[in-house]
């Protein structure tokens, strides 16, 4: 389960386009960030997650945030300012017997091959019609789904929703958001199979209902509507950390159903999704700044700035087992320690996190050494999280609901957490 939203120039404080997304995956499904340069591939074929497709003569530089084991990405930005986030949607479309392109593959291909949002829509829909979508998309559980996307560039954005090989797209007016359900009615731009009928009529009721997508989409949409004209990067970060207007004693340990924008896994088949990575892209007329956590649970994480002309610090890729040498798994020590008494332990460092991000935001606007500043931000965030972890461990654990406790202890064992 995921949430994606976008704000266009007439809704932001500085005339930029801001796209935010939480990638909600399984709790042990490590997330990684990669930056790939523009290239002129020699090979005529490309291997996506499951199938080979024709390669193009040139691919654009991309910054991707992705599950470690999948070729495609949950979210990303390219050197031209095209940004995309995707969502799993559950439809009545008949599943094809052979794997096709995953929605994450389509997202990466759109970024690698398009200069504008409109062009990215063409890239994704042409590939969708040619190769279909599908294949095992779950890390350890069987999961097959269709996809929706928000696709933006420096001036506009589109919502693209798919049903099998069919698709429909609608231009965003000022702000837009999507979750794990179809949202479009009748649209002007669509494949032949989705012309005339509301796209929402193709939704699978049961899976869509239990994804809690309507509540989350309303939450992000209403929040953006309330501050149109005043939306900035901190607004997007705050929204990605949203737990639904709860009080200071709120804890993700409560409840067997329901999900928030900042998703927390729990016990049972309904609460298996955890926000494993978060991104805010800030695209102006002449610059691109991408804020990434590269860690799970944005409420326990720090957003760090990345630029195409600054690159990424050296980061070891995570895998399915705990590895303290990787950023994602090292952060899990803080995240999972916090979960043992969420109200008190998270409160012990929330202001420190916000103050650190405020320093990063101010510094990002002034730095002349982007590579050095990005590296310093990653180092500072890592040092801060180590200190917060030690402080959190001095706060006693709370008594957790038995089933919630059992679920997280099982995930810890599977990952080899210390």
Given a contact cutoff of 8 angstroms between Cβ atoms, the answer to whether 126 and 101 are in contact is: no
293 Cβ contact list (under 8 Å, min separation 6): 277, 278, 279, 301, 302, 303, 304
Three-state DSSP at 128 gives helix
Q: Compute CA distances 220 → 7, 244, 261, 282, whole Å.
A: 11, 10, 8, 18
Q: Compute CA distances 162 → 82, 178, 339, whole Å.
A: 20, 13, 36
Q: What is the spatial distance between Cα 46 and Cα 224, in angstroms, rounded to a whole number?
A: 39
DSSP 56-107: PS-B--EEEEEETT-SS-SEEEETTS-EEEEEEE-BSPPPPSS--B-HHHHH
Q: What is the spatial distance between Cα 229 and Cα 374, in angstroms, rounded to a whole number?
A: 29
Alpha-carbon dihedral of residues 331, 332, 338, 339, nearest 10 degrees?
150
pLDDT value, residue 208: 65
DSSP 214-253: HHHHHHHHHHHHHTTT-B-HHHHHHHHT--SS--TT--TT
Indicate the DSSP class of residue 133: B
Residue 73: both structure tokens together: 């990405």
pLDDT value, residue 252: 96
Q: What is the spatial distance between Cα 265 and Cα 78, in angstroms, rounded to a whole number?
A: 31
Characterize the bridge pairing of strands 288-292 and 45-47. unpaired
**pLDDT tens-place string over residues 166-175:** 999 999 999 9
pLDDT value, residue 352: 98
Dihedral sign for Cα atoms in the order 114, 147, 315, 239 = positive
Q: Which domains does the chain have, with CATH numbers?
A: 3-317 (3.60.60.10)
Orientation angle between helical segments 402-415 and 327-339, nearest 10 degrees: 160
Q: What is the spatial distance between Cα 301 and Cα 233, in angstroms, rounded to a whole number?
A: 15
**Which regions of the chain are under pLDDT 70?**
205-211
Residue 405: both structure tokens together: 């406790």
pTM to 2 decimals? 0.97
- Residues tagged active-site: 2
Q: Compute CA distances 251 → 28, 259, 260, 331, 332, whole Å.
A: 20, 12, 12, 19, 17
Which conformational region is residue 348 in: left (phi greater than 0), alpha (psi within -120 to 50 degrees), or beta? alpha
Indicate the DSSP class of residue 270: S
pLDDT value, residue 210: 61
pLDDT value, residue 13: 98
**pLDDT tens-place string over residues 18-47:** 999 999 999 999 999 999 999 999 999 999
DSSP 37-48: --B--S-SEEE-
Q: Compute CA distances 303 → 248, 297, 377, whole Å.
A: 22, 11, 9
pLDDT value, residue 207: 63
């Amino acid at each position: 389960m995921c949430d994606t939203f976008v704000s266009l120039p007439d809704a932001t404080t500085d005339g930029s386009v801001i796209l935010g997304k939480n990638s909600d995956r399984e709790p042990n499904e490590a997330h990684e960030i990669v930056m790939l340069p523009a290239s002129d591939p020699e090979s005529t074929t490309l291997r996506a997650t499951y199938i080979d497709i024709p390669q193009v003569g040139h691919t654009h530089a991309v910054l991707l945030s992705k599950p470690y084991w999948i070729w495609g990405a949950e979210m990303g930005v390219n050197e031209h300012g095209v940004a995309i986030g995707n969502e799993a949607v559950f439809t009545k479309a008949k599943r094809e017997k052979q794997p096709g392109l995953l929605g994450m593959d389509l997202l990466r291909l759109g970024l690698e091959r398009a200069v504008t949002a409109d062009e990215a829509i063409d890239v994704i829909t042409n590939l969708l019609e040619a190769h279909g979508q599908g294949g095992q998309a779950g890390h350890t559980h069987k999961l097959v789904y269709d996809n929706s996307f928000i696709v933006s560039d420096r001036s506009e954005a589109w919502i693209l929703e798919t049903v099998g090989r069919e698709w429909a797209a609608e231009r965003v007016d000022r702000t837009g958001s999507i979750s794990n359900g179809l949202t479009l009615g009748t649209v002007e731009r669509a494949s032949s199979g989705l012309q005339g009928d509301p796209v929402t009529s193709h939704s699978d009721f049961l899976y869509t209902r239990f994804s809690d997508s309507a509540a989350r989409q309303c939450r992000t949409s209403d929040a953006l509507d309330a501050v149109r004209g005043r939306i900035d990067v901190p607004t997007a970060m705050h929204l990605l950390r949203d737990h639904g207007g709860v009080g200071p004693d709120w804890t993700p340990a409560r409840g067997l159903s329901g999900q928030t924008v900042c998703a927390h896994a729990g016990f049972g088949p309904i609460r298996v999704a955890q926000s494993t990575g978060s991104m805010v892209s800030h695209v102006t007329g002449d610059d691109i700044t991408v804020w990434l956590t590269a860690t799970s649970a944005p409420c326990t994480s720090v957003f760090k700035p990345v630029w195409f002309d600054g690159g990424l610090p050296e980061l070891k890729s995570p895998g399915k087992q705990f590895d303290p040498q990787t950023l994602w798994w090292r952060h899990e020590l803080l995240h999972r320690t916090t979960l043992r008494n969420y109200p008190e332990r998270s409160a012990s460092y929330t202001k420190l996190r916000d103050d650190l991000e405020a320093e990063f935001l101010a510094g990002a606007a002034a730095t002349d050494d982007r590579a050095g500043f990005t590296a310093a931000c990653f180092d500072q965030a890592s040092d801060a999280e180590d200190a917060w972890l030690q402080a959190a461990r001095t706060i006693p654990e709370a008594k957790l609901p038995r089933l919630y406790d059992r679920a997280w202890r099982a995930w810890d064992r599977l990952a080899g957490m210390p």
